[in-house]
Amino acid sequence: MSENRKVKLEIKDMTKLYDNGDGVEHINLKVYEGEIVTFLGPSGCGKTTILRTIGGFLDVTSGDITVDGQSIVALPPEKRPTAMVFQSYNLWPHMTIYENLAFGLKLRKIPKAEIDAEIKKHLALVSMSGTEKKYPGQLSGGQQQRIAIARSLMLKPSLLLLDEPFSALDAKIRQQMREELKKIQSDLGITVIFVTHDQEEAMSLSHRIVVMNKGKFEQVGTPAEIYDNPKTLHVASFIGEMNFIKRGGKTIAVRPENVSVRPGSGDDLDGTVRTIMLLGHYVVLNVQCGENVVKCNVDRELSDRLKIGDPVTLTFNKYSEFDTEAGFTPVAQ
């Protein structure tokens, strides 16, 4: 990420603690204009807390948050240059879709003809043209979420905040929504902060990912950096599929596509074929190596020459090595 790019959002030594002592401490992050940055981590790791402090729905305990160089921590949510889309769609049930979308623009005294044009344009953007006269209760969850995103985009926020917006949708719709969001973001050049616990969503959407664990940043980087060079065992276990093999006091982490398999015994890691699963253009081989089961992605040509119980030799072409953490139990995912 080039340092010459304009910093859109900066979080400076921000702490937000709840009465029970939970929360996040000493958070520092720069987000550049036109980036999609995703906070990724398990429930309770602090990602939504950070998002809500940016949106103004939570006060910070200490530190500062700036957008375009201006501090926003003293501003109420409606005065901030941000728009937030929640998991629950927050549409007004007694208003039509048109009225829901027009509400914010009417407050800004935008002329009716312009409001009509904006609504038409944004409904088309989220593939919901023709729903102006419907009420939220007549739409599915996925459709309501599209309307909520359109409503936020119409306010032309400097920063769009999305809190697990697709988690209630089924897999196929979720995939479509990701693609649409990425296209909308790229067409409009907006800056997006996205929160999810879904690593595939984070990998497919983001320019950069912040992997969180227990209120701390474990790693910040591009999807490729985080996938190829995980900095901690937590990151290695949270992103993508990974084999973990304990050797001495170390844990070796190797991805299934980085394991070479040769029939027969050899000098490297010996094992026997446990299962063979065809997944379309490639095959997943599970190999029993002592107490470890190692998952390997191999091509059809090799798998056709193997059967369950055959001896094989494994070579790790690329792997990461970590000091084994107390309480960490490696499992092949």
| Rounded average pLDDT per 10-residue block, the chain, 333 residues | 80 93 92 96 90 95 95 93 84 93 87 93 89 93 88 89 87 84 88 94 94 93 94 90 88 94 85 93 92 92 92 93 72 47
Count of domains for the chain: 2
Give CA–CA dist 60/73, Å, rounded. 7
In this prediction, residue 329 carries a pLDDT of: 61
Token representation of residue 55: 């949106």
Which pLDDT belongs to residue 43? 85
Q: Find tokens 């359109």 and name the residue.
A: 150
Return the CATH number at 152.
3.40.50.300
Choosing from 233, 266, 297, the residue where a domain stops is: 233
Question: Is 2 part of any domain?
Answer: no
Q: Coil, strand, or helix at residue 118?
A: helix
Residue 332 lies in a domain: no
Sign of CA dihedral 300, 302, 304, 307: negative
Of the three residues 206, 233, 260, the one that is the final residue of a domain is 233
Same domain for 229 and 299? no
User: What's the pLDDT at 141?
Assistant: 82
In angstroms, the CA 125 to CA 149 distance is 10
**157 and 276 fall within a common domain:** no
pLDDT of residue 78: 86
> With a threshold of 0.85, does the pTM exceed it?
yes
Structure tokens at 2: 């080039």
* 124 falls within a domain: yes
pLDDT at 333: 46
Residue 67 confidence (pLDDT): 96
User: For position 290, what pLDDT does the model report?
Assistant: 87
Tell me, yes or no, whether 26 and 130 share the same domain.
Answer: yes
Q: What angle do CA 333, 167, 80 make, to 5 degrees?
A: 125
